[in-house]
Amino acid sequence: MNRIDELFNKKAGNILSVYFTAGYPALDSTVEIIRELASEGTDMIEIGVPFSDPVADGPVIQKSNDTALKKGMSLRLLFDQLKDIRKETDIPLLLMSYINPVLRFGIEKFCKKCEETGIDGVILPDLTPEIYTASYLGLFKEHNIYNVLLISKGTSAARIREIDGLSRIFIYMVSSSSTTGIKRNFSADQKEYFLKVKKMNLRNPALIGFGISDNETYLQACKYGAGAIIGSAFIKALSEGEGGKNTVRDFIKKIR
């Protein structure tokens, strides 16, 4: 059984998934950050593969991508850094990347390396459901890798149900039409969208991402979905803190 399955089987709500960029703030900090997030009670971790043109990401994540790339982070190096990660933790791990680095690496090789390394799922925002279904679904199933699909406020009800049918574990519900970033609250319009999706009684649970930055927005996301995905706020904490255990502990304590 995939570790993400195990998580959702034992925990139906209040799931906290944290995103950070591999190779940031230091080239060799990836494993340490995973270790500390796991020890502080994070439920799931998304590891960002730095890319030169992260179009869905706001300035905080864009800057972390640029820094990590300049330090020498690559998909190949990331897999090397993670080769023994399953000796350290059983927390569900996902890679978040744009499709270009994956295609350059070789998608069959990518899926195989994910399986060998212990990666449970991937998020590829610019891989359309149509291309995924036609070209890669069988490959992902062969290597037991979940491909997490995204919906947004502009996604029609019919499209949401189509994505729900293709999804194997959870749906990434993007909270707004903007790029990632730190928000202080959700608007009435956003809450209406969350409620609309909740009332659809989808087969898969939804985790809400984009704009989760503190306890208030985390609890709001948990009210309308199975939990929250936090990225920019955590990367900002890494950039401002001293790093290591204290930074991670203080951030998770603030969220929960």
57 is catalytic: yes
Per residue in 177-200, pLDDT (tens digit) is: 644 445 567 889 999 999 999 999
Tokens of 144: 């037991």
**What pLDDT is recorded for position 211?**
87
Whole-angstrom Cα distance, residue 139 to residue 157?
28
**What pLDDT is recorded for position 112?**
98
Q: Choose, from 46, 53, 116, 162, the residue flagged as catalytic.
A: 46
**What pLDDT is recorded for position 186?**
87
Q: Domains plus CATH for the chain?
A: 3-255 (3.20.20.70)
Q: Which segments of the chain have a pLDDT < 50?
A: 178-181
**What pLDDT is recorded for position 184?**
62
Going by C-beta distance under 8 Å and a sequence separation of 6 or more, which residues neighbour residue 15? 7, 8, 43, 44, 207, 222, 226, 227, 228
Whole-angstrom Cα distance, residue 242 to residue 238?
7
Question: Are the C-beta atoms of residues 21 and 142 closer than 8 Å to each other?
Answer: no
Q: Choose, from 43, 57, 120, 164, the residue flagged as catalytic.
A: 57
192 is catalytic: no
**What pLDDT is recorded for position 91?**
98
